Amino acid sequence: MTKEKIFTRTIWLLSFVSLFNDVGSEMLIPVMPIYLKSIGFTALWIGILEGAAEAVVGVSKGYFGKLSDEKGKRLPFVRLGYLLSNISKPLLAIFTYPVWVLFIRSGDKLGKGIRTSARDAMLSDESSKENKGKVFGLHRAMDTVGAAIGPFLALVFLFFYPEHYKPLFLLAFIPGSIAVIFTFLIKEKQKTVLVKSSKRNFFSYFSYWKSASPEYKKLVSGFLLFALFNSSDVFLLLMLKFNGFDDLHIIAVYIFYNLVYALFSFPMGSLADKLGMKTVFILGLFLFSVMYAGVAFVKNEGMLYVLFFAYGIYAAATDGVSKAWISKIVPSSETATAMGFYASCNSILLMIASSFAGLIWVSFNPAATFIVTASGVLAVIGYFIFLKKSY
């Protein structure tokens, strides 16, 4: 009897799509706050911009996730989403007026919203219940390898051309285009439509909460409680700048973080399959709290790398694990809707968290932003400790 493969052709292709897409996207992430400040954005407006962009992701993840389940199709959403995000990259180098930047960033995030729930549902469809942690761990690992390569390319470019940010937005279009091409190598399995199409508006997916299982509601409530404290990573990068680290050091530590994230994503996914999702997720939250408390005061380069090592482990222990956890407790016919609903609410709360973080930053001091976050996440850990179902 032939042993069933854990990683199918579709899983590998989706992983490579994410790798190349993140090479392009993550070339821009570490320089984005610096670039935005160079064209006139304050920390508060950066928080509002990033929060608003994430809200676009969230709302669209919910809507298009539900639509994917209703249509019984995943691949068209995956292709369109990656295409839209890639087109937006070079536009940021051309249009620098704040309103245009908001629209372009929102367009980029809309592409992410269109594709993400369908892609995650496709990964879930391709994996067994016993191996979901491994499958999502592999995908996150490949995705994050791209997230390490991208900043490295940005680092090399800025070493030779300091403060020349705009050409990076044009260069990022190349790996993004490769990702789009890879989506056309994927073949989607025929899927029986189990969810009846209904009269819908853009926010109709919120009705999923009514029919969702109690287990799903308890789990997602914990995830969303964490989202209230989890502001955009741009504040981490701004804090490093505030603490006196130069652009090259900031990008270098961001690369290091992504390498740790990539290296540990699959092991953490495997560990979650063995020890339970809850145990690994709580470990990640604890490391998040430690890192945020420490980064407010870090001045030493060695300690900086220790903190971002912890941050990489946190990401590996929570991102793919949370998706695998949800996919384990919902029917396959509802996977995209369930993930989309969670992602939608998560992004809306991220918008609030980012705006609030920016407000604390300008009203008090930057360190206060991180102390409040670290303290709040300790309460979230308490919630998950008392969550009865461990999985």
Give the sign of the dihedral formed by CA 306, CA 311, CA 312, CA 313. positive
Task: Record the tokens describing residue 52, joined without a space.
Answer: 């608003």
Tell me if 196 is assigned to some domain.
no
Tell me if 195 is assigned to some domain.
no
In the prediction, which pLDDT does 1 show? Answer: 37
CA pair distance 13, 7, nearest whole angstrom: 10
In the prediction, which pLDDT does 96 show? Answer: 67
Structural domain count of the chain: 1
CA pair distance 212, 208, nearest whole angstrom: 6
In the prediction, which pLDDT does 201 show? Answer: 61
In the prediction, which pLDDT does 389 show? Answer: 63
CA pair distance 233, 30, nearest whole angstrom: 9
Question: Alpha carbon of 218 to those of 129, 261, 318: distances in Å?
Answer: 20, 27, 17
In the prediction, which pLDDT does 183 show? Answer: 94
Q: Rounded to two decimals, what is the model's pTM?
A: 0.77
Q: At what angle do helices 98-125 and 335-363 cross, to 10 degrees?
A: 140
- What count of other Cβ atoms lies within 10 Å of the Cβ of residue 210? 7
Cβ contact 212:338 at 8 Å: yes
Tell me if 252 is assigned to some domain.
yes
Helix (H) or strand (E) holding 98, with range, is helix 98-125
pLDDT in tens, 6-36: 888 999 999 999 999 989 888 887 677 777 7
Tell me if 197 is assigned to some domain.
no
In the prediction, which pLDDT does 160 show? Answer: 86
Tell me if 336 is assigned to some domain.
yes
pLDDT in tens, 121-144: 898 888 877 888 888 888 888 988
- CATH number of the CATH domain containing 231: 1.20.1250.20
Consecutive sets of 10 residues in the chain, 391 residues long: mean pLDDT of each? 70 93 83 72 70 72 83 89 87 72 77 88 84 86 86 84 81 91 86 54 76 89 90 80 79 85 89 89 93 85 90 91 88 84 83 82 84 90 82 63
Please list, in sequence order, all residues whose beta carbon lies within 8 angstroms of the beta carbon of residue 313, skipping any fewer than 6 positions away. Answer: 260, 264, 268, 283, 284, 287
In the prediction, which pLDDT does 126 show? Answer: 86
Structural domain containing residue 213: 10-187+209-385
Tell me if 200 is assigned to some domain.
no
Q: How many helices (H) and strands (E) does the chain have?
A: 16, 0
Distance of CA 101 to the CA centre of its chain: 20
Give the sign of the dihedral formed by CA 238, CA 242, CA 244, CA 246. positive
Tell me if 198 is assigned to some domain.
no
In the prediction, which pLDDT does 98 show? Answer: 66
- What count of other Cβ atoms lies within 10 Å of the Cβ of residue 95? 12
Q: What's the DSSP call for residue 212?
A: S
Tell me if 192 is assigned to some domain.
no
